[in-house]
A and B are shown apart, each in its own frame.
Chain A
Amino acid sequence: MRVGTEQINLLCRSNSSVIMLNDAGEPFFDGALGDQISLADEQKGLVHWVIANKKSAGRFSDTLPQQPLMYLPLISSGIVRAVLVIKLADNARLDLAQRTLLESFTALMTLVLEKDELLRISREARMKEDTQKLQSALLDNLSHELKTPLTIIAGYLDALLLYHEWPKDALELLEESRLASLRLTNSVDAVLDLTKLDTGNFKPNYALCDVKDVVSEAVKQAVIGSNVNRVKVECPQEPLAVQVDFYMLTQALKNMINNALTHGPAQGDVDVKVNSLNQKVLINIIDQGGGIPKDVLAKIFDKFYRGSQTKKGGLGLGLSISKRFIELNNGTVEAANLSPQGFMMSVVLPVIDKEEKL
């Protein structure tokens, strides 16, 4: 750029400077390249005008030709990249040859700017890609390192319970341990999912699914141990096709059902009701618990939020993961207290055309 301004100065016997634009498209006056031409406020205003209108202004132009300075926009791909300001001697005139040369110079300078910009973009993209690859490899490794011992613990406990006779007290301990290993698996899944979400390593893999399949899988995963008969599912007969990432939506619903099982009355039912209306599918998860105070209703989907009356463990991650998974699948989720009793979480997802012609 500096070379460019020097050449222009030689050509036109002028002083000139290039005012670059920052990422937000604002002129960066203090960092002008070439000669330092101090601009008054109204002259700065003219630079803004040039950027906004993508036209030259000042001397030898249609806009405010009485101004002493020339303001030329350097435009590439329809975007103003910089503004070239030229200060000519008062009595200077530009002949045709000089004008043509000036135009060529500005075109060249624009090309240089464009090349710099492209280089910068591709360098950033490559860096981002490298970081993502590294993160993704680290996460895969972490997942493997956490899941392998868990598989061994859960599997050995399973084998001990299945293939051996135990006295009653030992049996109880083994069963408790097996349930704990399953709970730990769930927590590990939650932490891994959240880490993947936070680092942008979770790309949804959309596929057509029947909502019913997703719901029944979520219920299957949510009920372990003593909760088997507590979840009641109501679904319409016909298939309801949604375009979602099966894993994400299953996890989302599973967490919400788990939440309802935990916060509802100890042996109370949890209802999962699926309905379709106006090209949308509505999934309601209802427990018979006391609900939650109004002022924290909005907070339950926040990361690490745990209710003040929360009885047992829990990381406070489940519902925040649910919300993010559902939103990644173009859905919405809300929570509301029911009167006189109960608490409901509702998921809304767009439905894909049901019956298509063959």
Chain B
Amino acid sequence: MSKGLVLVIDDEPQIQKLFRVILTHAGYDMISAGTGKEGLSELVYKKPNAVLLDMGLPDMEGSEVLLRIREISDVAVIMVSVRGQEEVKVQCLENGADDYVTKPFSAVELTARLQAVLRRKTTPGIVDEVFENAGLRLEFNTRAATLHGQPLKLTAIEYGLLTLFIKNAGRVLTMRQILRDVWATDNDEKLNSVRVYLNHLRQKIEADPAQPKRIVNEPGIGYRFNLL
């Protein structure tokens, strides 16, 4: 059975072929488009589960295609970029991209990321107002949190961070997105607080805070909450 339909928007036939080899072996079906325009129409008619979107397309920038996609669809989008385009990556994540891979990417990395974003889209994050994953349990009505049955004492900010992450499990959140959601500010000077409070949260919910598995760092970009 197919794990889902993936739309690849990239103008290089050989890169498309590479994606096809990797995706087919990982159990996905794939359709492809060579331009942004074509990609958008494929999106509308074929309704894929995920989109792999190249940053540079012949007719428009990948970031522009992303904005158009987000006007019409909540589909999982992974940007495909080259190294050193950090600002553009951050911009795309803030505009609604779920994740990114950097060329040259490995098959393992690509399928892991694809699986993570699809998991978010297919599992409704919050069932019965309770979140539960690998021993971490959160009741949204009562704000009660437990780890392996032991109650967790979370401050208001830590609780805010954790719920934001849970709602966006599998997705990369930029520092600024976190700041805006939890602190309700655009003040860049507060960015370091995000880091400090995340560290506090990690101390409480990670088995080994020095080797975090749930809240992992996306270097230079932000953080991602993984379901274990």
Contact = CB atoms under 8 A, between A and B. Distances in A.
Nearest to A149: B14
Nearest to A248: B84
A185 B104 contact: yes
A174 interface: no
Interface stretch (A59-67, A108-116, A117-125, A157-165): A157-165
A147 B193 CA distance: 37
A265 interface: no
Interface residues of A, number: 42
Contacts of A246: 86, 219-220
B104 A210 contact: no
Contacts of B191: 207-208
A239 B56 contact: no
Dominant SS at the A interface?
A: helix
A140 B82 CA distance: 10
Contact of A162 (B18, B105, B107, B188): B107
A181 B105 CA distance: 12
A282 B31 CA distance: 50
Dominant SS at the B interface?
A: helix
Contact of A247 (B14, B18, B22, B86): B86
Interface size bracket, B side: 20 to 34
Nearest to B217: A213
Nearest to B56: A144
A151 B219 contact: no
A352 B192 contact: yes
A207 B176 CA distance: 11
A158 B86 contact: no
Interface string B167-180: 00000000100000
Contact of B15 (A151, A213, A217, A250): A151
A154 B104 contact: yes
B168 to A, nearest CB: 20
A152 interface: yes
A88 interface: no
Given A156-B18, A163-B21, A151 B196 contact: no
B189 interface: yes
Interface of B: 12, 14-15, 18, 21-22, 25, 56, 82-84, 86-87, 103-108, 175, 183, 188-193, 195-196, 199, 217, 219-220
Interface of A: 140, 143-144, 147-148, 150-152, 154-156, 158-159, 162-163, 181-182, 185, 189, 193, 205, 207-210, 213-214, 216-217, 238-239, 241, 245-247, 250, 352-356, 358
